[in-house]
Amino acid sequence: MPECQLIRPRPANTRPIRVRQVKLREQRVRVSAADGEIEAIVIEPVGRRPTQGVLYYTDIFQLTESTLRTARRLASAGFLVCLPEIYPRELPGMALEFDDAGKQAGLAAAAHTTTAQFDSDCAAVLDYLQQRGDVDRIDAVGFCLGGHLAFRAAFDPRVASTVCFYPTGLHNGALGSDQADSLARAAGINGRLMIIFGSEDPHVPADARLQIIAALYAAGLQHVELHVYSGGEHAFMRDIGPRHDPMLTDLSLTEAISFLNGR
């Protein structure tokens, strides 16, 4: 016979577990930029004023539901999260599929975007966040190519803290249609910086990670954290496909939220 487990009632003097409930509000906005508009999604908690705004850079697939799920988890920690499209000129209003066609479309859009255009768009979104009446501080996060964009956002003195999740192209300058000077400008980062990698990321292997961290310390940065998660593949936080690692995703978000909150 199968064993039966006796479930004892909870003692009357045991305190109930309290779960903090958070409801979120989402809206699409259009951010004025130097040569047009950038469509963005803003996610924020309902019922309390978030004082920290987070510029959230997506991966090459833009505003997918997978990305929005992660952004909602970040917003539920009390941040106002703003996700701009990273290709407003090439792929306005488009969320790409996680397949070969979507990948090629995202890479092609990057190849048609200059570093100066990426930087100009960043300044426009930071202007938008700065002009809001409910944001007192701005941070940045980004994933994959968006992690590289978040790194460049950290050059702006308005960005207090930055978290780059498995950023691509930092070690070799690959970003858009031209060579990016991101590592060479690392000394211009005044805020705090965290970079998260998976150990099995073919886009940023061990020698590339070593090059990145060496350049950051050579630049004199004092507030840098590097996290390398054993077994993590590239895009291990994307909750679609075989690369996804739920435990590493939870760990990464916990560390990132703690870091953005100043520890």
Active site residues: 144, 201, 234
Beta bridge partners of 29: 40
Tell me, what DSSP letter sits at residue 34? T
8 A C-beta contact, residue 126 and residue 55 = yes
Rounded to whole angstroms, the Cα distance separating 36 from 250 reads: 37
Rounded to whole angstroms, the Cα distance separating 234 from 226 reads: 16
- Residue 29: how many CA atoms within 13 Å on its side-chain side? 18
Q: Which residues lie closer than 8 Å to 135 by C-beta, 6 or more apart?
A: 50, 51, 52, 53, 80, 129
> Which tokens go with 28?
């699409």
Q: What are phi and psi of 138, to 5 degrees?
A: -125, 135
> Which tokens go with 125?
């979104």
Q: Burial letters for 137-147: b for 16+ Cβ neighbours within 10 Å, e otherwise? A: bbbbbbbbbbb
Rounded to whole angstroms, the Cα distance separating 200 from 177 reads: 27
